[in-house]
């Protein structure tokens, strides 16, 4: 075997962003507030995937038709992605199957091959405790598409902006002429988010981009996105919101990641809260995989233990739910990281591109 693959530069600030993003997703899914806080997290993860995968494809030259033995490098890229993502995913699917979750028993094949987003689009609703798997399926499909697309699309901002525009155009056209709901669950409907990450990876070292690497721009951009939601919500234009929230969210997500990647590698006196966020961010994949099946288990336990409706309502309220399930989720994610993801990462990093 050749020498181990040298990983891309570690950006610890991104782990803190991952932590905040996963907490937004989890709390949003558990408490179901009117404000779409879970979308803030999921959009950030998609943009981060575009940023990270584009960096690998360009730096390691794993796109189709690249100089040299691109077929071998492309195969290594796919194998590394499969090793990193699929074993933890299948472990969570096995746990959900044992729970048991009805959707997994009714449609097992859609989850054995990660195409659950197509299932949910076909059914036009999310399955019990497994609806979050649609983003994981889109990510896996993105890994297959992106090395091919970047072989065709020049490494130019204007061309990547065109790809981003295609995502918005697809959602509008598909929702208008094919089916009005869940177009964003299909891979083409997420292209604007992935392309936004690629644009950031391409331009992150430009002086004009570095000038926006301040938290005030992060806060202002998310406030603007929230204001747009508020306007459309108050005017009951929910359908318009579903079409444009991703494209509008590209801007604050990119500004957030731009701020994170330009932070110090490791502050001399890092605050404990940042250390905790980095810890959660490293284990965010496990958090995401298990977070939506936990409320199903919790609800079943409450209905089994308590007969009085008032008692059930008390325990199923948002605050008790979050306070009880958050430690359980972190424990599952920590176990997944220690016993599964860390050994897999060591194995993955021994697969060399060259």
Convert 9-19 to b/e letters by CB count within 10 Å (16 or more is b). Answer: eebbbbbbbbb
Does 20 fall in a domain? yes
**Angstrom distance (rounded) from CA 121 to CA 134:** 9
Q: Structure tokens of 55?
A: 């960096």
**pLDDT above 70: residue 112:** yes
Q: pLDDT band for 9, please (50, 70, 90 cuts).
A: low
Q: Exposed, middle or buried, 263 (CB in 10 Å: 0-12/13-18/19+)?
A: middle
Q: Is residue 3 situated within a structural domain?
A: no
Q: Is residue 354 part of a domain?
A: no
Q: Does a structural domain hold residue 353? A: no
DSSP codes joined into one string, 204-238: TTSHHHHTT-SHHHHHHHHHHHHHHHHHHHHTT-H
Is pLDDT at 266 greater than 90 in this prediction?
Answer: no
Map tokens 């530069």 to a residue.
9
Evaluate whether residue 6 is within a structural domain: no
Determine what percent of the chain is predicted with pLDDT higher than 90: 90
DSSP letter, residue 332 = H
Give per-residue pLDDT as tens, 158-181: 999 999 999 999 999 999 999 999
Residue 2 falls inside a structural domain: no
Q: CA 332, CA 303: separation in Å to the nearest integer?
A: 23
φ, ψ of residue 173 in degrees (nearest 5): -65, -45
Q: How many domains does the chain contain in total?
A: 1
Write out the E strands in the chain. Answer: none
Residue-range definition of the domain harbouring residue 341:
12-264+271-348
287 domain residue, yes or no: yes
- Asked if 43 and 184 touch (Cβ cutoff 8 Å), the reply is no
Whether 30 maps to a domain, the answer reads yes
Task: Tell me, yes or no, if the pTM score tops 0.85.
Answer: yes
201-258 pLDDT per residue, tens: 999 999 999 999 999 999 999 999 999 999 999 999 999 999 999 999 999 999 999 9
Q: What are phi and psi of 16, to 5 degrees?
A: -65, -40
Answer yes or no: is pLDDT of 2 > 70: no
Residues 199, 161 contacting (CB under 8 angstroms): yes
């Amino acid at each position: 075997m050749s020498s181990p693959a040298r990983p891309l530069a570690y950006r610890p600030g991104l782990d803190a962003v991952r932590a905040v993003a996963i907490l937004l997703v989890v709390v949003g899914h558990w408490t179901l507030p009117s404000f779409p806080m879970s979308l803030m997290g999921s959009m950030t993860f998609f943009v981060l995937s575009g940023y990270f995968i584009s960096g690998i494809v360009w730096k390691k030259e794993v796109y189709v038709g690249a100089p040299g033995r691109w077929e071998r490098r492309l195969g290594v890229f796919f194998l590394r992605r499969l090793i990193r993502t699929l074993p933890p995913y299948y472990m969570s699917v096995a746990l959900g199957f044992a729970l048991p979750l009805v959707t997994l028993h009714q449609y097992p094949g859609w989850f054995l091959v990660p195409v659950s987003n197509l299932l949910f689009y076909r059914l036009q609703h999310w399955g019990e405790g497994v609806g979050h798997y649609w983003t994981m399926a889109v990510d896996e499909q993105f890994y297959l598409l992106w090395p091919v697309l970047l072989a065709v699309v020049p490494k130019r901002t204007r061309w990547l902006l065109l790809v981003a525009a295609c995502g918005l155009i697809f959602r509008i056209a598909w929702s208008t002429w094919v089916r009005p709901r869940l177009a964003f669950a299909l891979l083409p409907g997420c292209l604007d988010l992935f392309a936004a990450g690629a644009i950031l990876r391409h331009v992150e070292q430009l002086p004009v981009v570095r000038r926006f690497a301040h938290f005030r721009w992060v806060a202002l951009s998310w406030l603007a996105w929230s204001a747009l939601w508020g306007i459309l919500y108050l005017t009951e234009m929910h359908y318009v919101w579903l079409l444009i929230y991703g494209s509008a969210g590209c801007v604050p997500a990119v500004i957030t990641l731009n701020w994170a990647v330009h932070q110090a590698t490791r502050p001399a006196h890092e605050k404990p809260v940042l250390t905790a966020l980095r810890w959660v961010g490293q284990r965010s994949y496990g958090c995401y995989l298990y977070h939506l099946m936990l409320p199903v288990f919790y609800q079943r336990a409450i209905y089994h233990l308590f007969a009085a409706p008032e008692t059930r309502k008390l325990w199923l309220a948002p605050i008790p739910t979050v306070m009880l399930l958050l430690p359980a989720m972190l424990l599952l994610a920590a176990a997944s990281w220690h016993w599964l993801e860390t050994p897999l990462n060591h194995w993955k990093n021994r697969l060399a591109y060259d």
